[in-house]
Chains A and B, each alone.
Chain A
Amino acid sequence: MTKQKKETIMGRREVIAAIRHSFLRLSPGYQMRNPVMFVVYTGAIVTTVLCFYKVEGDKQTWFVAGVALWLWFTCLFANFAEAIAEGRGKAQAASLRAARRDIQAKQLKSPEKRDEYLHVSSATLRKGHFVLVDSGDFIPGDGQVVAGIASVDESAITGESAPVIRESGGDRDAVTGGTQILSDWLVIKMTADPGESFLDKMIALVEGAKRQKTPNEIALAILLAGMTIIFLLACATLLPYSLYAVQKSGAGSVVGVTVLVALLVCLSPTTIGGLLSAIGIAGMDRLVQANVVAKSGRAVESAGDVNVLLLDKTGTITHGNRQAVAFHAAEGGSIQHLADAAELSSLADETPEGKSIVHLAHEEYGVTPRDMSSIEGAFVPFSAETRVSGIELKDTKILKGAVDAVEALVTAAGGSPSPSARQIADRIAREGGTPLLIARGNRILGVVQLKDIVKHGIKDRLADLRRMGIKSVMVTGDNPLTAAAIAAEAGVDDYIAQATPQTKLDYIKKMQTGGELVAMVGDGTNDAPALAQADVAVVMNSGTQAAKEAGNMVDLDSDPTKLIEIVEIGKQLLMTRGALTTFSIANDVAKYFAIIPAAFASTYPALLTLNIMHLATPQSAILSAVIFNALVIVFLIPLALKGVSYKPVGASRLLQRNVLFYGIGGVIVPFIGIKAVDLILVAMGVT
């Protein structure tokens, strides 16, 4: 169903482009957008200047230059992370853009007259214009089908090769620019101006051009800025403290500006600060790879917060159609007779239900297969009025349909309803099945038991959701009895039976009042109010324009189970930020042990006792910390792009694991890393 996710591998060209961008982004205007990295940037400038102007305390030019160089690298690495994340999106955007070439369109003066059109460029089409698209043509832009029916190849957008049907009126009237009509024709009313189409939005989104910070990202950025200010204070005040210490002890020299800058950069949460935007971009990118387009990053984040999931029964929890599983003869009738009649009545019935009755009769009840052409009779199609279907034979009629409808017809034909059949039908309904009555002439033969088939594996997925703390709610038009039985079988937590747009809306509102965040999937126009109300609303790409407007994400695969995947992507995005923040802060412990003794050794040599890593010299210690601080950004780029791994377990276990990995790990790793860098520096003779 879902096509294989394509993992974009970093190609050489992308890397080269990213490197180029890393340098281009060294402008102050660009750097100012990220307060943490701006501190590094300023530090790099200050130390670079110090290379040329010898100031008391910063006399060792090679050391100052070394620090300056690596501070520039730190900035570049952060830029690179962002650029490479955007590059991956760009590659995808490029393939999408291929679909958005200029298309010759047939613009209609009026939608009624299909033969009066002008050939125009798609770029000139505006919202409200009508176009005709014939077999083989590309659809020039997003629109709504106003006339015609056609099969459309949407693989350029969705990657799904099977064509889909688009027709006017109903829930399949939305078309996307860049897709191709394979057969028949459509008259389409344009719903977007050029450059604002769905495809354009999607391209902009994956390119990161229009990326807006999400609420949690903003909150985290504030916290990081706050921490940076704290460390700025701690480092800046060291200068007067050190002055005083030198003055009072009469020994050593005042701590140099280079050392203070190095200390500040190492303490500031540069790891997360440098990777923050890359994480955000990569998160959106993962969503795009799952073939979902979110209208905003906010929606992706909200997906991680969702605690109630509204799932349509049909298509999500059960296979789309009910299937016959048994025949039950009415009192006094024979089962063979019933099976035979049921098969006859359904021979011409092309619905999945009809087919399943025929199949059941052949396979389980030994009815000899027949061919419609060999039978003299006329098919009676299902109509909303009679609510029955069947076959009209020479002498008699065989009908099947809902219990009360068939009973009414039989009574009208002079027969009487069968109490035993009624009993059986009620029992089936109670157990969650759907009973169909079969009548020959004015006599009721028995009952066909239809049943919803719950999808394989759905139960496990719902159990996963529960472990994640998400309540699943099944939405169905079935009566409460049927709904309850399926709900129990599939293992959903709650259900809305006999759902109407209004009951869905009310349910969502009720949940929201209780503080829950609700996600739902929809496609039809009548879902629009509920979609608009839900916190996260995923609309099938096959859905109507109204539904797409109301939702905040569109699933190009039109896969109703996709919602679960979206929730996971949302969670992963937040987790990656949290994990790297923790890692970044935990790193500071080791950096202190490297820098503090080195910084004050000249005034208080006794402080060298704290040099527990036995770093070679004060200069190599500080340089090692700065280099480690820069390199760790590079090492963590893959993690930022891929996201930390997510498993559907409870919050406590998830936290435990992440704290262990990124918290405790974050304390230990830099001790090893800084020591290693120091050893290398010593080996290179840089001390």
Chain B
Amino acid sequence: MNMSFNDALQIFLYFLVLFVCVKPLGIFMSRVYQGERTFLSGALGWLEKGIYKISGVNPEEEMTWKAYAWHVTIFSTVCFAALYAILRLQAGLPFNPEKMAGLSPDLAFNTAASFTTNTNWQAYGGETTMSYLTQMAGLGVQNFISAAVGMAVMASFIRSFVRKNSGTIGNFWADMVRGLVYILLPLSFVLALVLVGQGVVQTFGSSVEAHLLDPLKTSAHVVNTQTIAVGPAASQVSIKQLGTNGGGFFNVNSAHPLENPTALSNFLEMLAILLIPAACCYAFGHMVGDTRQGWAILAVMTIICLPLLIFCYGQEQGGNPRLAALGHIEQRQGIYQSGGNMEGKEDRFGVVNSAIWATTTTAASNGSVNSMHDSYTSLGGLVPMLMMQFSEIIYGGVGCGLYGMLVYALITVFIAGLMVGRTPEYLGKKIQAYEIKMSSVVLLVPLFCTLLGAAVAVLTSAGQAGPFNTGAHGFSEILYGFSSAGNNNGSAFAGLGADTPFYNEVLGISMLLSRFWCMLPVLAIAGSLSAKNAVPPSAGTLPTHTPLFIFLLTGVVLMVGVLTYVPALALGPLADYFQTLHSIHQG
């Protein structure tokens, strides 16, 4: 594989800028979640207090993990119900210039599940299904809320490492509102304006008719105009990128030129994908009083992500071997073209920016796309699928990614701790049967949703009707879909015809199970850890910031992910890959 200098530079720059942002944002987040004053307290404090006042919340009230979990559940249920209602009733609600009809029950269920779980799987096409009100007050609001809920749970989880002999883990409402007001709102606001500057649309006006320069002559008639869908996109695009939501304003998400028009908008949107998840690591280190712990976690994520990114890039840049076999097609990279496998990719991004996006959007549980993953080469498409199958902890969702990775750290600490002859402890907290039990649940649920869901799909005719492509790649589409829903990512091998009652329901249930049956055990662990005393570190303590630990944690994440999914992957992308090689060899 040859990587051009400029491509390498773009990857390097991406991570450089990301890591430069990690520390300041991480410190800021840490301070927000510890209720400290920040430079935004003056400007936005009134908003925070106002929300408490209207809702009747006492932000000082400490909650046990059960109370915390209860509030998370009730609130999420209310959000789910409200969104479902909006989706069903949008025809009769205002801000509907395109006169969009209400959604079918199964699509409304799927979409409501999708947006309350921070998955943002799109079984619908944005510009053809959703009214502006639905986009803003329904989907847009959930983009904020679901992200803030994930971050709140993370904050309470981190707190449980800091507290000793305490029964409480913080206040859910305060954690959520602070995340919304001080972190998500300012970042989204600024990013949205910059994106508009780059050309992302932001208007309440209805779609535009353009008169074609070269009228389209079909067999039946001549089309003279082009209808260009517009809308309040920028305000939503910014939060869907920052909050690892990923649900696009338009059907093709950030591949759409009005959602992601330039190389710069693309860079910023990609940066926004990993910005908060990466900063969460630093915030974690900062909150537990040892930033090395945060860097170690970030290192593990990067060590897994970067090689896979480069691998994905290499596969895509290598082009489609079957196109090469056709002849007369230039796929090689040159000064006048990026070349490579360009099916389903946009010219302004080229291969390298498509690969960075595909890898990071699935590493983080973002799921937005700027290229069509379904059309990736067999092994290139394996990368985003595998990234999701790592249970969305390689950066992962905002908050969720970090707490997921910390659960893996607990498992690693447990095995490694035994190897140094002590009851394992992480940051001074002993990891015992209860924590292992709950961690096992967190490990198991996404796998359960993914593997079992895909099994149900291939066994039923409704499920078998889904794939658009044939053979092993068709299976990949199903597996990708369930990996996406079962790990709350939201991206798709979009060929899968997912807007059917079967897929809407099964995937919707997967998303709900995966989100909440990971969140609740995590809160249970938080409650248990918070109640424990902390063992002071000594020479006999396993250090959890060293290269050795980073290596081990990386190994555990890879082993669990790869060992679980290799058999299934063998029947999907791997079979596809080897079959292609085989057929070209023989053809």
Chain A residues at the B interface, C-beta cutoff of 8 Å: 215-216, 218-220, 222-223, 225-226, 229-231, 233-238, 240-245, 248-249, 263, 267, 301-302, 304-305, 307, 466-471, 512-517, 570-575, 577-579, 581-582, 585-586, 588-589, 592, 596, 599-600, 603-607, 609-610, 646, 650-652, 654-656, 658-659, 662-663
Contacts and interface: CB of A to CB of B under 8 A. Distances in A.
B56 interface: no
Contact of B421 (A235, A599, A654): A654
Interface string B407-425: 0000100111111111100
Contact of B543 (A574, A652, A658): A652
A219 B432 contact: yes
B458 A240 contact: yes
A588 B565 CA distance: 13
A182 B583 CA distance: 92
Question: Which 4 A-B pairs have CB atoms at the shortest separation, nearest pair first?
Answer: A469-B540, A578-B418, A571-B421, A226-B440
A606 B419 contact: no
Interface string B497-516: 00000000000000000000
A663 B415 CA distance: 11
A233 B421 contact: no
A137 B540 CA distance: 49
Contact of B447 (A233, A307, A571): A233
A579 B435 CA distance: 21
B103 to A, nearest CB: 30
B541 A592 contact: no
Contacts of A305: 422-423
A607 B552 contact: no
B470 interface: yes
Interface in B543-570: 543, 546, 548, 551-552, 555, 559-560, 563-568, 570
Contacts, number: 229
B541 A243 contact: no
Interface stretch (B77-85, B209-217, B363-371, B530-538): B530-538
A575 B424 CA distance: 11
B454 A241 contact: yes
A517 B535 contact: yes
- B interface, by DSSP: helix, strand, loop or mixed? helix
Interface stretch (B124-132, B148-156, B327-335, B471-479): B471-479
B567 A582 contact: no
A607 B570 contact: yes
A571 to B, nearest CB: 3
Interface stretch (B32-40, B258-266, B308-316, B573-581): B573-581
B187 interface: no
Contact of A513 (B421, B533, B543, B552): B533
Given A233-B448, A607-B574, A663-B555, A515 B534 contact: yes
B541 A222 contact: no
B428 interface: yes
Nearest to A263: B567
Contacts of A650: 539-540
A655 B416 contact: yes
Given A226-B444, A248-B471, A592-B566, A574 B421 contact: yes
A388 B418 CA distance: 55
14 contacts: A226-B444, A233-B444, A234-B447, A238-B568, A240-B459, A241-B568, A243-B459, A248-B471, A248-B472, A248-B474, A469-B538, A581-B415, A592-B566, A606-B578
A578 B568 contact: no
Nearest to A646: B421
B421 A572 contact: yes
B163 to A, nearest CB: 13
A562 B447 CA distance: 48
Given A470-B540, A606-B582, A230 B571 contact: no
B560 A222 contact: no
Contacts of A244: 458-459, 464, 475
B444 A230 contact: yes
A229 B472 CA distance: 26
A466 B539 CA distance: 7
Nearest to A567: B421
Contacts of B325: none
Given A267-B563, A575-B418, A606 B538 contact: no
A245 B447 contact: no
Given A243-B458, A245-B475, A469-B540, A301 B464 contact: no
Contact of B422 (A471, A571, A586): A571
Given A307-B538, A652-B548, A235 B567 contact: yes
Contacts of A588: 559, 563
B568 A651 contact: no
Given A240-B458, A241-B458, A471 B418 contact: no
B317 to A, nearest CB: 22
A309 to B, nearest CB: 12
Given A234-B568, A307-B538, A651-B543, A574 B472 contact: no
Contact of A245 (B411, B416, B571): B571
B542 A600 contact: no
Nearest to A661: B419
B538 A223 contact: no
A231 B416 CA distance: 21
B63 interface: no
B472 A237 contact: no
A655 B539 contact: no
A675 to B, nearest CB: 20
A469 B414 contact: no
B418 A574 contact: yes
B456 to A, nearest CB: 8
